[in-house]
Amino acid sequence: MASVSDGVILGIVEGLTEFLPVSSTGHLILMARVLGIKHAEMENFAVMVQFGAIVAVAVYYRKRVKTLIQGALGKDERGRKLLLLLIVAFIPAVIVGLLAGDFIAAKLFGARPVALALIVGGIAMILAERAAKRVENYPIASLEMATFKDALVVGCVQCLALWPGMSRSMTTIVGAQLRGFSNVAAAEFSFLLALPTLGAATAYKFFDAYAEMKDEPGFLQALFIGNVVSFAVAFIAVWTFIRLVEKVGMTPFGIYRIILGIVVFALI
């Protein structure tokens, strides 16, 4: 699998979809089928090119990241609170992932489960946005207004993202909307939550994945190119998404998910 062209393609898919509410895992599974890449190889490579996407978010939100670091060092009270909010939201997915990881890997990684998740998630996005629009003057217009109960709810909803195709960013954004976050605040919390969530997942799987693939011809070149592409595309995707969501909301992404899910079902 480890050709430079595969690295470029998977880097583009990972960077473009990781932080959009359309499911990067689902798109990578579908792309692997198109390219004829074995699932295990795709999963290993996808874990490693996540690093570029994670760095892109850290760079994009560098001021927030600086605040989080200062909060961890006890130098910024707002940063400390935001850090604790992210930790609270992070914990539920860790617990469920450890308990149900084997079942998920055995039963839910496939084109049909992904297609169903795309459709279910798309419908959920549309309904959540309609419900959020009924709330006048979003109670949580910025992250400073969020509570630990808000973070826990978002974290519990994020557990649904363990179903490939559901999307981590979709579940966290929908969970935040249902708690009264504005679209922009929901997206920002989702992206910041990606740092510990994806960072931990990448660190947990990276060394095993690297050991399995490092001897393949062209692997290191593909890995380097894949991460560079993933970083660049993810940075542009986040920048674009924040501006789009202010103007058009989440519904177009929900419609895209539903259409894609129907197309996948039709093809299989």
> Tens of pLDDT along 74-131?
999 999 999 999 999 999 999 998 898 788 877 877 788 989 999 999 999 999 888 8
Which pTM value belongs to this model?
0.86
Where helices occur in 134-182 by DSSP H, the ranges are 148-158, 168-178
User: What is the reported pLDDT for 134?
Assistant: 66
Stretch 199-215: mean pLDDT: 78
Give whole-number Cα distances, 233 to 20, 30, 82, 136, in Å.
12, 19, 27, 35
Q: Among 81-85, 146-150, 182-186, which stretch is predicted with the lowest mean pLDDT? A: 182-186
Helix (H) or strand (E) segment spanning residue 36: none
Cβ partners under 8 Å of residue 50, min gap 6: 14, 18, 198, 201, 202, 230
User: What is the reported pLDDT for 35?
Assistant: 79
Q: What is the DSSP string of 38-104?
A: -HHHHHHHHHHHHHHHHHHHHHHTHHHHHHHHHHHTTS-HHHHHHHHHHHHHHHHHHHHHHHHHHHH
Count of CB atoms situated within 10 Å of the CB of 75:
11
User: What is the reported pLDDT for 89?
Assistant: 96
Cβ partners under 8 Å of residue 38, min gap 6: 1, 32
